[in-house]
Structure 1
Amino acid sequence: MTMATPGTASVLQPERTTLRYPNARVIVLNDDVNTFEHVVECLCKIIPGMNSDRAWTLAHQIDEEGAAEVWAGPLEPAELYHQQLSSEGLTMAPLERN
């Protein structure tokens, strides 16, 4: 029988892995239904920190380029903003995870 002296026993430390929370992009698509004013109103109401100038810029980008990223960040709020914009009648691209 062997005796271990205090402080000499080896303890295995679990390997720690930091998992990154998934991010996503919220993209509004151009359509022939929504007006610029409605898009701007929805963006300002739903997207945190959105102001009228930025919303108008995005509305023009949506019209001219066919789509615009209106928010990017953690997946959970992205899902919420995507659902809220969709329920307001905006045409949405599927969430893009990154």
Structure 2
Amino acid sequence: MSATKIGKQREQRTGRKNSTEPPWNVLLHNDWDNSMPRVVLILKKVLPGMTIGRATRIMYEAHSSGRAVVKRCHKELAELYKERLQGEGLTISLEPAE
């Protein structure tokens, strides 16, 4: 079986692309327009698999340091999360992950 065929089968099974694209960080910035509980609920609502505990830690990091990494993923997905989170009223930016 060729490497290309194996790669395509893996993509079909996992739904993930095999890519060398560098990851991007979705950043949450502290703001005074959203309450802490509201930020936690939005993160849980928008991001698949986000738990209340993890959302709380992300919210608190943004609150105390000014920003926090919400998600690290490929650029297209990062842009989608940014759009959805901004649509809920959060202050979000993207940056290439190191």
Q: TM-score range by the shorter chain?
A: 0.7 to 0.9
**Equivalent residues in 2 for 1:1-98, closer than 5 Å:** 20-93=20-93, 95-98=94-97
* Higher alpha-carbon Rg: 1
User: SS in structure 1 opposite 2:27?
Assistant: strand
Aligned to 2:11: none
CA RMSD of aligned residues (A): 1.6
Q: Distance in 1 between matches of 2:78 and 2:41?
A: 18
Secondary structure at the counterpart of residue 40 of structure 1: helix
TM-score by length of 2: 0.75
Structure 1 unaligned spans of 5+? 1-18
Aligned length: 80
Unaligned runs of 5+ in 2: 1-18
What's the secondary structure of 2:26's corresponding residue? strand
TM-score (norm 1): 0.75
Letter paired with 1:69: V
Displaced runs of 4 or more, over 6 A: none
- Partner amino acid for 1:50? M
Question: d(CA) in 2 for partners of 1:48 and 1:97?
Answer: 21
- 1:47-85 deviation per Cα after TM superposition (whole angstroms, max 9, x unaligned): 121100111111111110100000001111111001100
Give 1 or 2: higher helix fraction.
2
